[in-house]
Structure 1
């Protein structure tokens, strides 16, 4: 991975709040998101998404800023009714891909905020 002088210089709590305001606008109607600062890593946000509908699906992602523009997204958990589920099914992969796209769209929407 290339190192960049383009460091992220936004306080983590302010960044989490900006994400909390912006991400729900990118999600499908009825989906709910919670964005929290990762206490262990100042460059990482924890994103919890509750999918709309009767499936009781919940997705957890770690969104790490590589620099002020680029993010890395890791899926950390998928649960249905509070139980971990196999995220390798086609339907789950489609949902995860959609949420990853929404996370990238949120990061792009906040470029003006993260890239000074």
Structure 2
């Protein structure tokens, strides 16, 4: 892979593509919001609300390493608007699941992000 493999898509176009695609890889009842990161044109902010009574919300920072690969960082986990310890097993499993879904979404968008 050459060093010129960089993300060239406009951040707003990228955000729209993620808004369209992310719900297709998440659990049907989960809700996701995608927003551009204000500090980095190669990054997006993803906010996911879990379905059901658990009332968890997860915030992720997704940054494109190149046109195909993303780095996913957990920013915050809350339950009923209260910050929670994200080290418990239930939350860790949910985080792993969402990170996998986020990577699936990035893969699904390869045709959009690679020129």
Distance in 1, matches of 2:41 and 2:49, equals 24
CA contact (8 A) 1:4 1:67 kept: no
* 1:105 matched to 2:113: no
Deviations 1:78-109 (A, max 9, x none): 00000000110111110000000000000000
For residues 55-94 of structure 1, the aligned pairs below 5 Å read: 55-94=54-93
* TM-score w.r.t. length of structure 2: 0.97
Distance in 2, matches of 1:24 and 1:69, equals 19
Aligned length: 114
Task: Give the Å deviation of 1:4.
Answer: 2.9
CA contact (8 A) 1:33 1:50 kept: yes
RMSD: 1.0
For residues 5-84 of structure 1, the aligned pairs below 5 Å read: 5-84=4-83
Q: Which runs of 5+ in 1 are unaligned?
A: none
Task: Give the Å deviation of 1:5.
Answer: 1.5
* TM-score w.r.t. length of structure 1: 0.96
